[in-house]
């Protein structure tokens, strides 16, 4: 049995200083990443709790668990918490913060104090959101459509809007830090073409965060002003236009979904080469596809408005652009698959999550083609078909990528190994639970069950029961990693510098790394994913 | 832009340890500020977008509202900001040349210009308050209806103009207040001798911010004050 | 609970089949692509699993492949786009001569009024085989009129009209759902579309308590509000003559030309200065707040009736009363 204590007291970022001040006033990007890890995990379980209540209510056609108003608050707060307090920060704030400087050979991000400020803004926003929740919450849906949110809802719309505004600021500063870091702090020899694709993915994500989030910020400010001062910018009875709100809102919120998925794609692009022992197929294609997704992602927002009252011609343009944005994602899927060809493959937990990601993201992405087709969208928009589509991508895609990344880099972050068999078991549970939860929802959507329905016609019950059953399995799958990661911090096997035999500068330093990441600034003379030069580890994963 | 570290024998106390060289640190700060200003463009941009759409649809009301603003006060404010940008640019140059006293004077002058701008804006807003042009329950555009009998003024559309007027000038004024705060910080540290020809990055990026706020006003002024100033027939 | 467990929605309109056809095509493509990717992954994972002594082969990439698997999907996507666009275009273009039903949505019910004057709440009776066009507006927030069996949906907005059309093909009762979240009873804002054989429909139509057709109600309101004072049809009054106006282009004071459709008539009543007709002064009083949505619908129907119905040349339009 491995010893609990780290024997030789080599100094690293975790044991350098102790005490709460050394954590709350840290400027070390690695510690900030862990601060974020704790916070976003907390909000993930809050959002997940709301989801469970929703699924419980939907076990029966009648509204018999909670009242209608409560249900409306449940799905609203589920969406707001999951989108703004979990999905948007998750990978960038945890894995990105931890890894971006290390992957490029830098000692820290460009602006470490702004990084800490980012976290504090997130916490302030989180406290505001929690206060909003416990004092009643909002019931507008996370989409805040007007004039309901500005002139009809009598819930905590202003508080929720302001909390999200502050969280957006946090997101902008993280993106700003990453862009400057990647531009200005690469180690000697680390050219753009040698960057890990995780970095390219985060670069693209950061561009979206910088350009898109401010538009959401001003939109929420206008909603708050309208509500508080009874203005009329979005209210037709006072000369305004509710569609203007939708355009402004979706101008951010569509690119936001690419903020949520691009980092996950970056994670998968690191995992697959490692466990196939070969370089990624089509490095430049994958790098450029990340940039293409970021650019095209800004051009398709009104595909959320095909039945909202926009003109026929607008609809045609946004539909065709939506097909264009699908191409770079398809390119990635093909390149990942091609990387497996003639590889030397092992099935570690991260690899299982990567496979799960490819499968589920492919299904979710393909259903996006349905929604981009105007004739189909008219029938399935605002139904469970859309709910299933975005959960396949957000949960089946982004969350699985996040979990895969957490398992992959856990030895680097903590210096410990998680129990591999439990990791694989949890991955399987997540995969099965996920599909049972969300596949029936495609069928429900085409049948016509609308979204945000507290009660529903009885013929939809069987599919809803299946979905709820799946969600309980999924919940177990999510709790398991939290338990065994915590357990491993004290009892897990000690990890060496590079237990996976992975490429990348972060694996050339100790696990956990020293505070300044590298004893000496590395000089890079090799290409990315140089698996021809790195021997496979003798044991890929260490069983407990 | 070279990426290899330049061997530096000595560096000032200002070099943060995660940077290799002072030049890298300065370039990072500069890029960071430019990116931040990019986000500010997108932030104001949302409101400019709303403004453009409603101006297209409700031109008459927007023109009438625009005429009710004091174009002379607006012009003075524009000159004030342009002069302040001059003092800022001269200040950066003073820092580059190590002229501490001149730098402090120029920074203080900038702050004074900033206060002048805010003061004049306060006067303008007070005028609007007196004329019942502040959106909300006591809003009334009866005076405009009276003054412009040749066009039909829909009061809810008129209120939209003033909502956007206050939102846009308010957001701009907030940025000015933040700018004044930044320059107070810079003035204090300049007086303490912190900025030298080797290290004046905060002055430079503070200056960038101030120039941006100035440019936003250069757009706001014609859009809000000069919609239709043709002499009335 | 297991009584009726449908997996496919009923198909009861002329458009539904087209939507289903594209959907099935997409399901096939998506299934094919998913299975293809999954199979390849499984085959590669098994065939190339780690074995002692066998190294991975480092492959940079292949520009030819990248181009192929960009262009081929793009081609398929363009087909899907075009197919979907054609369906959408047809769905959004009501045929001439469709029967019109006015819909007013409010939290949390649907109020419908047939041309002939029948009023319904949360229910819409229509005959099989007739084109029906819904002209809809909301009294409060955004709602959405959704009939899964017809595969159609349209958001219903406050402050303007949006339209929807269908031709039912199968008698029966079908769900009507509100599909845009609108508050507490959003999920209770449901109803039914009752499709009847034409003869049964006629019987239903004459059985109800009709209070006069929508257009004749509109005529009454027109007179009560004093509109004929300016909108004369004998000589040029202070307002434009409304006979023959509906559906035609109108030249405005500012040089623009707009089509006099439902939204134009509605806006002219509620906010007359928005689009002043060329040659006239902006003196029409504002009726915002003085007419209800139902009254607006009736007025629109009346103005419509002053023009000959499309495709019915030679039919004399209704005579306006003075």
DSSP string, C220-289: HHHHHTTGGGTS-SSS--SS---TTTTTSEEEBTTS-EEE--HHHHHHHHH-TTSSPBTT--S-PPP-TT
Contacts of A243 (CB under 8 A, 6+ apart): A305, A308, A309, A310, C157
Record the tokens describing residue C140, joined without a space: 């409060």
Q: Within a 10 A sphere around the Cβ of B114, how many other Cβ atoms?
A: 23
**Chain C residue closest to A355 (CA)?**
C41
Task: Tell me how far CA of residue A537 lies from CA of C50, C54, C125, in angstroms.
Answer: 12, 14, 72
Q: Which pLDDT belongs to residue B233?
A: 54
Number of cross-chain residue pairs from B and C with Cβ atoms under 8 Å apart: 14
- How close A166 comes to chain B (CA, Å)? 14
Range name among A27-36, A518-527, B49-58, C235-244 with the lowest pLDDT average: C235-244
DSSP string, B64-98: HHHHTS-HHHHHHHHHHHHHHHHHHHHHHHHHHTT
* Contact yes or no for A379 and C144 at CB 8 A: no
Q: Looking at residues A520-531, what average pLDDT do you find?
A: 92
Q: How confident is the model at residue C207 (pLDDT cuts 50, 70, 90)?
A: confident
Most confident of A5-9, A53-57, B195-199: A53-57
What's the pLDDT tens digit per position in C130-186? 999 999 999 999 999 999 999 999 999 999 999 999 999 999 999 999 999 999 999
Residue ranges of alpha helices (H) inside A392-499 are: 400-414, 420-447, 461-491
- Whether pLDDT at A541 is above 80: no
Contacts of A76 (CB under 8 A, 6+ apart): A137, A138, A139, A140, A141, A142, A160
Q: Which pLDDT belongs to residue B3?
A: 39
- Whether pLDDT at A542 is above 90: no
Q: Looking at residues C261-278, what average pLDDT do you find?
A: 88
Helix, strand, coil share (%) of chain A residues, nearest 5:
70, 0, 30
Task: Tell me how far CA of residue A382 lies from CA of A139, A385, A449, in angstroms.
Answer: 17, 8, 9
Domains of chain A, each with CATH number or no CATH: 23-508 (1.20.210.10)
Alpha-carbon gap, residue B152 to B78, rounded angstroms: 31
Does the CB of C206 have a partner CB in chain B at under 8 Å? no
Interface test with A, best of C27, C37, C56 (most A CBs within 10 A): C56
- Whether pLDDT at A543 is above 60: no
Domains of chain C, each with CATH number or no CATH: 1-44+94-211 (2.60.40.420), 214-305 (1.10.760.10)
Contacts of C137 (CB under 8 A, 6+ apart): C103, C104, C105, C156, C157, C158, C159, C160, C161, C162, C266, C293, C296, C297
What's the pLDDT tens digit per position in A62-87? 989 999 999 999 999 999 999 999 99
Contacts of A185 in chain B (CB under 8 A): 18-19, 24, 28
Q: Which pLDDT belongs to residue A125?
A: 98
The answer to whether C198 and C127 are in contact (CB under 8 A) is yes
The answer to whether B91 and B106 are in contact (CB under 8 A) is yes
Contacts of A212 (CB under 8 A, 6+ apart): A251, A252, A255, A256, A259, A298, B42
Sign of the dihedral through C-alpha A351, A355, A361, A362: positive
- Whether pLDDT at C294 is above 70: yes
* Contact yes or no for C56 and A531 at CB 8 A: yes
DSSP 8-class letter at B132: T
- How close B88 comes to chain A (CA, Å)? 25
> Which of B3, B18, B156 faces A108 most closely, judged by CB atoms?
B18
pTM of the model: 0.91
Q: Looking at residues B133-141, what average pLDDT do you find?
A: 89
Sign of the dihedral through C-alpha A72, A78, A83, A84: positive
Q: Looking at residues C205-228, what average pLDDT do you find?
A: 83
Vertex A107: Cα angle to A263 and A89 (nearest 5): 25
The answer to whether A530 and A273 are in contact (CB under 8 A) is no
Give domain limits for chain B.
22-225
Q: Indicate the average pLDDT of chain C.
A: 89
Q: Indicate the class that CATH gives domain B22-225.
A: mainly alpha
Q: Indicate the average pLDDT of chain A.
A: 94
Query: Tokens 């299934």 label which residue?
Result: C31
Contacts of B151 in chain C (CB under 8 A): 273, 282
Q: Which pLDDT belongs to residue C211?
A: 66
Percentage of chain B beyond pLDDT 70 is 94
Q: How confident is the model at residue A1 (pLDDT cuts 50, 70, 90)?
A: very low
Alpha-carbon gap, residue A312 to C85, rounded angstroms: 9
Percentage of chain A beyond pLDDT 70 is 97
Q: Which pLDDT belongs to residue A464?
A: 97
The answer to whether C23 and A446 are in contact (CB under 8 A) is yes
* Contact yes or no for C70 and A327 at CB 8 A: yes
* Contact yes or no for A281 and C59 at CB 8 A: yes
Record the tokens describing residue B18, joined without a space: 């995660």
Does the CB of C271 have a partner CB in chain B at under 8 Å? yes
Q: How confident is the model at residue B102 (pLDDT cuts 50, 70, 90)?
A: very high
- Whether pLDDT at A229 is above 90: no
What's the pLDDT tens digit per position in A95-126? 999 999 999 999 999 999 999 999 999 999 99
Task: Name the β-bridge partners of C119.
Answer: C113
- Whether pLDDT at B44 is above 70: yes
> Which of C70, C84, C187 faces A453 most closely, judged by CB atoms?
C187
What's the pLDDT tens digit per position in B173-228? 999 999 999 999 999 999 999 999 989 999 999 999 999 999 999 999 999 999 98
- How close A230 comes to chain B (CA, Å)? 6
* Contact yes or no for C81 and A323 at CB 8 A: yes
Q: Which pLDDT belongs to residue C209?
A: 60
- Whether pLDDT at A280 is above 70: yes
What's the pLDDT tens digit per position in C251-268? 998 888 999 999 999 999
Q: Which pLDDT belongs to residue B10?
A: 52
- Whether pLDDT at B2 is above 70: no
Q: Which pLDDT belongs to residue A41?
A: 97
Q: Looking at residues B67-95, what average pLDDT do you find?
A: 96
Contacts of A249 in chain B (CB under 8 A): none
- Whether pLDDT at B1 is above 80: no
- Whether pLDDT at A396 is above 60: yes
The answer to whether C148 and C174 are in contact (CB under 8 A) is yes
* Contact yes or no for A309 and C44 at CB 8 A: no
* Contact yes or no for A176 and B163 at CB 8 A: no
Alpha-carbon gap, residue B227 to C148, rounded angstroms: 49
Q: Looking at residues A270-290, what average pLDDT do you find?
A: 96
ipTM over 0.90: yes
Does the CB of B60 have a partner CB in chain C at under 8 Å? yes
Interface test with B, best of C254, C263, C271, C273 (most B CBs within 10 A): C273
Record the tokens describing residue A110, joined without a space: 């460009």
Torsion of CA B92, B95, B96, B97, to 10 degrees: 130
């Amino acid at each position: 049995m491995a010893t609990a204590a780290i024997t030789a007291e080599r100094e690293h970022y975790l044991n350098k200083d102790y005490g709460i001040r050394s954590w709350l006033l840290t400027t070390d990007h690695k510690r900030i990443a862990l601060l974020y890890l704790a916070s976003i995990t907390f909000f993930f379980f809050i959002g997940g709790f709301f989801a469970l209540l929703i699924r419980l209510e939907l076990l029966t056609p009648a509204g018999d668990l909670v009242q209608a108003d409560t249900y409306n608050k449940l799905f609203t707060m589920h969406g707001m918490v999951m989108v703004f307090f979990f999905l948007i920060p998750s990978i960038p704030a945890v894995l990105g913060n931890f890894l971006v400087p290390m992957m490029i050979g830098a000692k820290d991000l460009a602006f470490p104090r702004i990084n800490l400020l980012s976290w504090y803004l997130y916490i302030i926003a989180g406290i505001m959101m929690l206060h909003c929740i416990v004092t009643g919450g909002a019931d507008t849906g996370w989409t805040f459509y007007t004039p309901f949110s500005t002139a009809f809802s009598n819930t905590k719309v202003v508080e929720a809007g302001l909390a999200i505004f502050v969280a957006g600021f946090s997101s902008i500063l993280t993106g700003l830090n990453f862009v400057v870091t990647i531009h200005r702090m690469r180690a000697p020899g680390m050219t753009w073409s040698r960057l890990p694709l995780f970095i390219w993915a985060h670069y693209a994500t950061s561009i979206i965060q910088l350009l898109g989030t401010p538009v959401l910020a001003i939109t929420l400010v206008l909603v708050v002003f309208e509500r508080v001062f009874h203005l009329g910018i979005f209210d037709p009875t006072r000369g305004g236009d509710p569609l203007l709100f939708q355009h402004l809102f979706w101008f951010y919120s569509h690119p936001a979904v690419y903020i949520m998925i691009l980092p996950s794609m970056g994670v998968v692009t690191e995992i697959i080469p490692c466990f196939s022992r070969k370089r990624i197929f089509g490095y430049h294609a994958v790098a450029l596809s990340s940039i293409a997704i970021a650019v095209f992602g800004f051009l398709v927002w009104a595909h959320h408005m095909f039945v909202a009252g926009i003109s026929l011609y607008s609809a045609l343009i946004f539909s065709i652009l939506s097909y264009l944005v699908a191409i770079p994602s398809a390119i990635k899927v093909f390149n990942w698959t091609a990387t497996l060809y003639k590889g030397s493959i092992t099935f570690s937990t991260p690899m299982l999550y990567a496979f799960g990601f490819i499968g589920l993201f492919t299904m979710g992405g393909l259903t996006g083609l349905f929604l981009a087709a105007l004739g189909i969208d008219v029938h399935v928009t605002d139904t469970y078909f859309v709910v299933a589509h975005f959960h396949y991508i957000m949960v089946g895609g982004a969350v699985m990528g996040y979990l895969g990344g957490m398992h992959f880099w856990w030895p680097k972050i903590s210096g410990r190994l998680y129990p591999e068999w439990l990791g694989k078991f949890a991955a399987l549970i997540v995969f099965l639970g996920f599909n049972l939860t969300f596949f029936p929802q495609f069928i429900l959507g085409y049948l016509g069950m609308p979204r945000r329905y507290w009660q529903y016609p009885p013929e939809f019950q069987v599919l809803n029961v299946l979905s709820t059953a799946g969600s309980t399995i999924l919940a177990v799958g999510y709790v398991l990693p939290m338990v065994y990661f915590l357990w491993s911090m004290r009892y897990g096997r000690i990890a060496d510098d590079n237990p996976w035999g992975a490429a990348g500068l972060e694996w050339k330093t100790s696990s956990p790394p020293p505070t300044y990441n590298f004893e000496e600034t590395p000089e890079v003379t090799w290409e990315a994913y140089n698996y021809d030069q790195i021997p496979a580890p003798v044991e890929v994963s260490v069983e407990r | 832009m070279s990426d290899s570290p330049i061997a530096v024998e000595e560096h000032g106390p200002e070099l943060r340890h995660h940077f290799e060289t002072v030049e890298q640190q300065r370039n990072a700060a500069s890029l960071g500020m430019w990116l931040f200003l990019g986000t500010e463009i997108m932030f104001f941009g949302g409101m400019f977008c709303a403004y453009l759409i409603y101006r297209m649809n409700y031109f008459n009301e927007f023109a009438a509202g625009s005429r009710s603003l004091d174009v002379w006060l607006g012009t003075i404010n524009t000159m004030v900001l342009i002069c302040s940008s001059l003092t800022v640019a001269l200040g950066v140059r003073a820092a580059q040349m190590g002229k501490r006293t001149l730098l402090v004077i120029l920074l203080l002058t900038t702050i004074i210009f900033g206060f002048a701008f805010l003061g004049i804006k306060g006067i303008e807003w007070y005028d609007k308050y007196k004329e019942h042009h502040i959106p909300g329950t006591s809003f009334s555009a009866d005076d405009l209806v009276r003054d412009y009998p040749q066009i039909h003024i829909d009061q809810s559309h008129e209120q939209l103009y003033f909502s956007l007027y206050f939102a846009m000038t308010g957001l701009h004024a907030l940025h000015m207040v933040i700018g004044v705060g930044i320059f107070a910080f810079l003035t204090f540290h300049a007086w303490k001798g912190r900025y030298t020809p080797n290290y004046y990055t905060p002055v430079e990026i503070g200056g960038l911010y101030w120039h941006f706020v100035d440019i936003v006003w250069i757009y706001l002024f014609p859009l809000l004050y000069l919609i239709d100033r043709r002499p009335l027939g | 609970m297991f009584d009726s467990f449908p997996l496919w929605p009923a198909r009861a309109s002329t458009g539904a089949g087209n939507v289903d056809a594209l959907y099935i095509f997409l399901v096939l493509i998506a299934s094919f692509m998913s299975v293809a990717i999954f199979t390849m992954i499984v085959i590669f994972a098994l065939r190339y699993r780690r074995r002692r002594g066998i190294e991975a082969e480092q492959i940079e990439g292949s520009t030819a492949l990248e181009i192929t698997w960009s262009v081929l999907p793009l081609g398929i996507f363009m087909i899907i786009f075009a197919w979907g666009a054609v369906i959408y275009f047809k769905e959004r273009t009501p045929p001439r001569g469709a029967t019109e039903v006015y819909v007013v949505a409010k939290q949390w019910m649907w109020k419908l009024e047939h041309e002939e004057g029948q009023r319904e709440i949360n229910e819409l009776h229509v005959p099989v085989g007739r084109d029906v066009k819904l002209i809809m507006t909301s009294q409060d927030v955004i709602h959405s009129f959704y009939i899964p069996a017809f595969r159609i949906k349209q958001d219903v907005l406050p402050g303007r009209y949006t339209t929807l059309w269908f031709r039912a093909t199968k008698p029966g009762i079908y769900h009507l759902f509100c599909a845009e979240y609108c508050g507490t009873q959003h999920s209770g804002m449901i109803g039914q579309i009752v499709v009847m054989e034409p003869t049964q429909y006629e019987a239903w139509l004459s059985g109800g308590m009709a209070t006069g057709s929508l257009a004749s109600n509109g005529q009454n309101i027109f007179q009560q509000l004093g509109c004929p004072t300016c909108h004369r049809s004998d000589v040029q009054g202070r307002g434009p003559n409304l006979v023959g106006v509906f559906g035609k282009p109108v030249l405005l004071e500012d040089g623009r030309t707009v089509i006099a459709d439902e939204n134009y008539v509605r806006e002219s009543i509620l906010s007359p200065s928005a689009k002043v007709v060329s040659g006239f002064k902006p003196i029409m009083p504002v009726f915002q707040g003085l007419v209800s949505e139902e009254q607006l619908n009736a007025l629109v129907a009346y103005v419509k009736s002053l023009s000959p119905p499309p495709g019915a040349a030679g039919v004399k339009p209704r005579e306006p009363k003075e």
